[in-house]
Amino acid sequence: MKKIKIVSALGFFALALFAVIGWSMGMNTDAPMSRGAMGGMTNDSRPNFSQLRHRYVMQNGLDKNYLNKISPLGKNADLKQAKSLYNQNCANCHGAGGKGDGVAGAALKPTPADIATFTKTHMATDGYLLWTISEGGLPIKSAMPSFKSILTEQQIWHIVAYIRNF
């Protein structure tokens, strides 16, 4: 009788443990960081911004090499040249309209961000966009390539002007 009690107490303990583990794993799938993996608009209908990157910047501040950078182009960006640069380097992942729906992006975790919407927010400063495009996913270990050795800073500024105009 005593033995049975111990066995059932152990069984109960194991069940409780599994329940807690299962619960915490369930929590993780709802965590903001993994929301991006679902792609597009999520069921709470917030746009697919890069939660991972935003959290990184909130915790570490924006890289000092980029913080105060301002586009030298003003209104003089060559949007035609910028469009072809964007289509060559970004559209595969972010989609032709910047919605984060490019064919190569679908399988990535996190998925490419909706930059058409993001560039309309106050967080999308020139410095933030230059940093993101230059360093890519290096600081946060995402799949976004670093473009600082592929494009000149001038070319990146043209792309910044282009993605602000989606």
- Tell me if 92 contacts ligand HEC by CB under 6 A: yes
Q: Which of 135, 32, 39, 146 is nearest to 89 (CA)?
A: 146
Q: Please state the closest distance from residue 9 (CB atom) to ligand HEC, in A.
A: 47
Count the Cβ atoms, other than its own, within 10 Å of residue 141: 9
Binder among 62, 77, 82, 115 for ligand HEC (CB under 6 A): 115
Terminal C-alpha separation, the chain: 74
Separation of alpha carbons 29 and 37, rounded Å: 10
- Tell me if 161 contacts ligand HEC by CB under 6 A: no
- Tell me if 133 contacts ligand HEC by CB under 6 A: yes
Binder among 66, 131, 147, 166 for ligand HEC (CB under 6 A): 147
Q: Which of 49, 63, 44 is nearest to 123 (CA)?
A: 49
- Tell me if 125 contacts ligand HEC by CB under 6 A: no
Instruction: Decide: 102 and 147 in contact? Cβ < 8 Å.
Output: no
How many residues contact ligand HEC, by CB under 6 A? Answer: 30
12: tokens are 């109960």
- Tell me if 118 contacts ligand HEC by CB under 6 A: yes
Q: Which residues are near ligand HEC by CB under 6 A?
A: 49-50, 52-54, 89-90, 92-94, 104-105, 108, 110, 112-113, 115, 118, 129, 132-133, 137, 140, 142-145, 147, 159, 163
